[in-house]
A = this chain, B = another copy of it.
Amino acid sequence: MTPNLPQLSMTAAELAEVTGGVLIGDAAMVIHAIAPLDRAGPEELSFLSSAKYAPMLEETGAGVVLVAPELKDTPGRPRARVVVSNPHEALLSLIPRLYRPVVHPTGIHPAARIGRNVMVGDDVCVEAGAVVEDDVVIGDRTWIATHTVVGAGTKIGDDCQIHPHVSIYPHSRLGNRVIAHSGVRIGSDGFGYVQKDVGGQMAHVKIPHIGRAIIGNDVEIGANTTIDRGSVDDTVIGAGTKIDNLVHIAHNVRVGKVCLILAQVAIAGSSRLGDGVVVAGQAGVQGHVNIGSGAQIGGQAGVLGDIPAGETWSGYPARPHKESLRATAALFKLPDMMRRLEQLLERVKL
């Protein structure tokens, strides 16, 4: 998106119409942009979706505000408000009407470096400084940004956005509408060695990695995330899964569809996640475990074994969330309890 560039405008009445919301106040108010309550001005639209931020409505300079139904009567200064069931979802329909998306010029820039036998679809954009090696296939309308490297034999689908500084190792597979942010590494060798005596000394001998990294449709991958290729098997990310920044996905991992994997998570080798799994930030999943569909894993959890479908686990080592909460709560009462137990033991002279 291009914030702060020439923007469009909408009236409060149009905002209500587009979002299917109920307008309260001045229908003629015109807004040109969206901003948070604490810095919005009279020509800007803001939003209130949580009671936590309700007091800010009395101080905001916003001209129009989207409000959730339960907050519609919150006292406040804006001259118009639009009551919508989900303000964040309403923003989804408004942003494209207020902000012009970046349009990448079509074509292969003469300063891109293109290998032999490369096949590109219609209306692709390959920027200057991008490197596309031999035998690559790129689908329609896909953007390969400057300074990105697409390894030999890779196939990329339609409508992908491959940001600057992405490395895609040879023979990777990307579906349609994949977004890879800057610094993403797809298909790097996994961490696999055989310990051998080499000339009288123990050495870690590298296992050549002949598997692939396969990324499904509609996957978004955050900045500086690494997804290793498989050793013999493939590493697979299911369609619709979203991965945050600085995540590590090891070799042979299979992540299901429509999962959410938050920042700095690590999934060790050969583990399998079902569909709709949510892994919160900085959690780690040990190798060779199975996480059932719909399972949720808490932040910083350390998963050392399988998790059944639909369950929420947390803590180290990860346990069902309620059990972890009870254990943690008990832990902080422990010093006092120990003192009392000592007194008791003293009395009964055990």
> Chain B CB within 10 Å — which of A131, A223, A323 has the most?
A223
Contact in complex: B222, A91 (CB < 8 Å): no
Binds B, one of A21-29, A72-80, A136-144, A224-232: A224-232
Assess whether B300 is in contact with A302, with CB atoms less than 8 Å apart: yes
In the bound complex, do residue B207 and residue A88 qualify as a contact, i.e. CB atoms below 8 Å apart?
A: yes
* CA distance in complex: A193, B188 (Å): 28
Q: How many A residues touch B, CB cutoff 8 Å? A: 119
* Complex partner residue of A350 from B91, B131, B343, CB under 8 angstroms: B343
Cβ B224 vs Cβ A258 within 8 A: no
Q: Contact between A152 and B2 (Cβ–Cβ < 8 Å)?
A: yes
**A312 contacts the other chain (Cβ, under 8 Å)?**
no
Q: What 0/1 readout, one digit per residue, does chain A (119-134) give for beta carbons within 8 Å of chain B?
A: 0000000001101000
Question: Would you give the shortest CB distance from A211 to chain B, in whole angstroms?
Answer: 7
Known pairs A163-B167, A276-B202; A223 contacts B263 (CB<8 A): no
Given contacts A1-B210, A167-B223, A182-B188, 13 further A-B contacts (CB under 8 A): A95-B210, A131-B164, A147-B149, A165-B183, A179-B206, A181-B189, A183-B185, A188-B222, A245-B250, A246-B246, A266-B282, A327-B335, A331-B334
